[in-house]
Amino acid sequence: MPRIVIDGLEIEVPQETKVIDAAERLGIMIPRFCYLKSLGAVGACRVCAVKFLQGPFKGVQMSCMVDVQDGMVVSTTDDEAVAFRRQVIEWLMLNHPHDCPVCDEGGQCLLQDETVSGGHGIRRYKGSKRTYRNQYLGEFIAHEMNRCIHCYRCSRFYQEYCGYRDLGVMQIADRVYFGRFQNGQLESPFSGNLVDLCPTGVYTDIPARYKVRSWDLDRSPSVCIHCSLGCNTVANARYRTVWRVEGRYNEALGSEFICDRGRFGFGYTNQPSRPRQARVDSRSVALSDALKSAAEKLSRIHAASGPRAIACVGSARNSLETQTMLKSLCDGLGLPAPCFFVNSQTEKAVKRAVASLDERVAVSLNGVAHGDFIVAVGVDPLNEAPMLALAMRQAHRRGALLVILDPRPSFLPAPHVHLGFAPGELNGVLGSLVGKALETGDEGKLPPLHEDFLKSLPLESLFKAPVNHGEELDVVLSALQKSRRPVLVCGSEIVRENTPSLCADLALLMRSAKGQCGLFYVLPGANAFGGALLSGSEESSFMEVVESMEQGCTKALVLVESDPFLQFPHKDRLKRAMEKLELLIVLDHLPSLSAEMSHVFLPTSTLFEVDSTFINQEGRVQWSRAVHEGGIPMEQWTEGNHPPRAHGAIIPGQDFKAAGKVLEEIARNMGASGEVSLSDPRFRPGKGASPLEGAPGDRPGDGMRLIPRESSREPFSAREEYFTFGEDAGDSLELLLVEALFGTEELSAHSPALEKVEPKPHMWMHEQDASMLGFSQDDVIAMDLEGGVVEVRLKVSPSMARGVLVLPRHHRLQWQKFRDISVRVPHDRMRKS
């Protein structure tokens, strides 16, 4: 590895490290505008000039354009380099308006910092400045082109990094303009990153615009909980309002970018509709009284009907603290193990995924971005885990072939092969794909167990498939044969329950054939991983809880930050069952039907108000710090007046606790056996301490992966069941309830910013299925179901699977009228409305 001396300090860095990055490792921040590690170097802004004193280069050079080589001696403080940088900054500032006092970027503006640090404090230029007309770029981002210094970060990020094509650079010379062809909402769901990466205030965040100055904000490292990836963020709050969420670099995840769902989805924490008042039997009471009442009522049922009459349901949006405490409560009181998933099909898939992950194959998001062949099975990256789509695009940019094996129409901002097969066919197609690709390999090279598994793969099923993918399959097969670093991405929502195990087995097989293979699961929710770890070995599904409520066996239900109505297929059935309960306790910070029905309601804190821990889909434990204590936002409390006209000793709307603390107190009030423990051995992977213990300062910045070196699951043991196919489609369509980018995720559904961009409810059908039924694009289809009629607009696609009905669980659509999650909708139950 080459060594370099920068300002008298020596450092050894990996090959192909830029001088600017080597300096950063030494703690020397060379000024930069166009350079961003994730985007690479272009050498456009000329502000990172340093002087090379010895080595293969001499004189002033751009530090972002030169790779470190042995023998280089560099000075960042040399007079010539300093003068060069000062002049460049002065030129860049010629046309920049002096509007820092009213600019939202002020205080966290790279241009401001570099101008001052570059020694250009006083303007000399007296001429008139170039001005532009701004554009309307949608509901998220305000445009102020006069501030632009033409670094090209935005257009490079937007087009090259993200693959969207509606924002770019126009004009020439000093008229260069960054924007769209015409006014309009930016199409990229990653557009919010422009706010973070613009070195000045051309793009600012609309929800926070004119509301706060950056130096007044409380900031804390946080984690995004709007999908299972757990991208790292910075939360910004002031006056009891969370104003803004920014991306934060995490080396394991490979970028500092986040999607717009994660950036603008935080509104639920500020909403006036957020329930902040504890209630007992519809009376408002103090939280402490409600806690006592909850414990008393639970104890009464515990004594009268026994512990099995109480059911506890958590969710994938619970923090690990909450889930652990819920588990401890159940264990301590002898209750049935808590349930964290409403959809039992998904629960089984998630548990299999969690049991299969181990260090041999697990890869992080950054691992996906570095794969050379990515096949995504039963997952819709852009809609389920948007940053995964971006990681896959980076893999494509490095030369990987992307394959999506999924029944849904596929939207990926990168060229890819989409094989639209129904969920029941995915195992067979994937199995034969891998089987065919490895078949020509050398016999006898694999361990016998692997060899046997390879031989059991169905080589033919791929080609019997009704959809004609002939040419594409040849391309896919040859790419997979050549691949040295394949990555299998596997979903958990619409796949068969054994698909995650199959993917794990195939990953192990490819690993022994190719030396390396990645496995990457996508799970339903920020802490689905924790839920799967803690829901216990006994199979107690939510459906059984419902049946037990219907039979009157379960008399009390505790819902912990969970609203089963959003996921349960039949709303009226669930409502009838819950009405039979003697006691319904709901802990939450979101308004919901469950909360309205509750006998005891206990308000809880959001992510922003308490330190909390989440485990993402690769088993990475990550910590989020509270940014403020919460309470009714000043804006709402003072009705827009500032400063507040009424004063008191108590902060309004702060009578809530973290769900974990609420559970802890209930357990204590009920005299649960012993202290509630957070040091479950499950959370001690190897030698380390439990992630829930220890000071925040001791924790690794990139999180900590909590998976075994080798999974205890026996590989290849269940291969017989992988390739058994279900019943024939017949004259019905298989219902797939799915996630959408905007409009389905529980927390962000309460965000006013996202509400403005979410699409109207719709469902998808293959165009041939639709024409067979006499339907066409944009028809409103009425489905006559067990629980009533669902009316929804139809979209058709030529590339999705035949025989399926894809229905995003839009929060504005009352879709919950199905008998079960896994159902088929007969053709004769659908008509044009």
Q: Is 702 in the site for other proteins (CB under 8 A)?
A: no
Contacts of 150 (CB under 8 A, 6+ apart): 44, 45, 176, 178
Q: Closest distance between other proteins and the C-beta of residue 800, in Å?
A: 22
Q: Closest distance between other proteins and the C-beta of residue 77, in Å?
A: 38
Cβ 682 vs Cβ 533: under 8 Å: yes
Q: Closest distance between other proteins and the C-beta of residue 188, in Å?
A: 12
Q: Which two tokens stand for residue 509?
A: 């097989």
Counting every residue written for the chain, the total comes to 833
Q: Is 202 in the site for other proteins (CB under 8 A)?
A: no
Cβ nearer to other proteins, comparing 158 with 421: 158
Q: Pick the piece of the chain touching other proteins (CB under 8 A) from 111-119, 178-186, 236-244, 466-474.
A: 178-186
Cβ nearer to other proteins, comparing 177 with 637: 177
For the packed helices 320-333 and 659-669, what is the interaxial angle rounded to 10 degrees? 20
Cβ nearer to other proteins, comparing 165 with 445: 165
DSSP of 431-450? HHHHHHHHHTSPTT-S-HHH
Q: Closest distance between other proteins and the C-beta of residue 194, in Å?
A: 15
Could you give the maximum distance between any two Cα atoms of the chain, in Å?
86
Q: Is 263 in the site for other proteins (CB under 8 A)?
A: no
Q: Is 182 in the site for other proteins (CB under 8 A)?
A: yes
585-614 mask for other proteins (x: CB under 8 A)? ------------------------------
Q: Is 131 in the site for other proteins (CB under 8 A)?
A: no
For residue 761, give Cα distances in angstroms to 39, 184, 327: 36, 22, 36
Cβ nearer to other proteins, comparing 177 with 723: 177
Q: Is 171 in the site for other proteins (CB under 8 A)?
A: yes
Cβ 753 vs Cβ 759: under 8 Å: no
Question: Bridge partners of 204?
Answer: 142
Cβ nearer to other proteins, comparing 182 with 468: 182
Q: Is 102 in the site for other proteins (CB under 8 A)?
A: no
Q: Is 167 in the site for other proteins (CB under 8 A)?
A: yes
Cβ nearer to other proteins, comparing 170 with 286: 170
CA angle, 774 then 775 then 776, to 5°: 130
Q: Pick the piece of the chain touching other proteins (CB under 8 A) from 25-33, 162-170, 234-242, 537-545.
A: 162-170
Q: Closest distance between other proteins and the C-beta of residue 155, in Å?
A: 9
Cβ nearer to other proteins, comparing 91 with 181: 181
Q: Is 170 in the site for other proteins (CB under 8 A)?
A: yes
Cβ 417 vs Cβ 439: under 8 Å: no
Q: Closest distance between other proteins and the C-beta of residue 157, in Å?
A: 15
Among 122, 172, 650, 695, interactor with other proteins by CB under 8 A: 172
Site residues for other proteins, 68-87, by CB under 8 A, read none
Q: Is 133 in the site for other proteins (CB under 8 A)?
A: no
CB-based burial label for 102 (10 Å; 0-12, 13-18, 19+): exposed
Q: Closest distance between other proteins and the C-beta of residue 165, in Å?
A: 4
Q: Is 181 in the site for other proteins (CB under 8 A)?
A: yes
Cβ 731 vs Cβ 773: under 8 Å: no
Q: Closest distance between other proteins and the C-beta of residue 562, in Å?
A: 43
Q: Is 42 in the site for other proteins (CB under 8 A)?
A: no
Among 180, 274, 514, 573, interactor with other proteins by CB under 8 A: 180
In 3D, which of 438, 486, 492, 427 has the Cα closest to residue 462?
427
- The structure tokens 């002031």 sit at 238
Q: Is 166 in the site for other proteins (CB under 8 A)?
A: yes
Q: Is 169 in the site for other proteins (CB under 8 A)?
A: yes
Dist CA 825 CA 731 (whole Å): 9
Q: Is 580 in the site for other proteins (CB under 8 A)?
A: no
* H or E stretch at 600: strand 600-603
In 3D, which of 321, 246, 199 has the Cα closest to residue 659?
321
Cβ 295 vs Cβ 583: under 8 Å: no
What number of CA atoms fall less than 13 Å from residue 744's CA on the CB side?
Answer: 20
Dist CA 273 CA 291 (whole Å): 22
Dist CA 270 CA 42 (whole Å): 41
Dist CA 365 CA 270 (whole Å): 30
Count residues binding other proteins (CB under 8 A): 12
- Residues forming the site for other proteins (CB under 8 A): 165-172, 177, 180-182
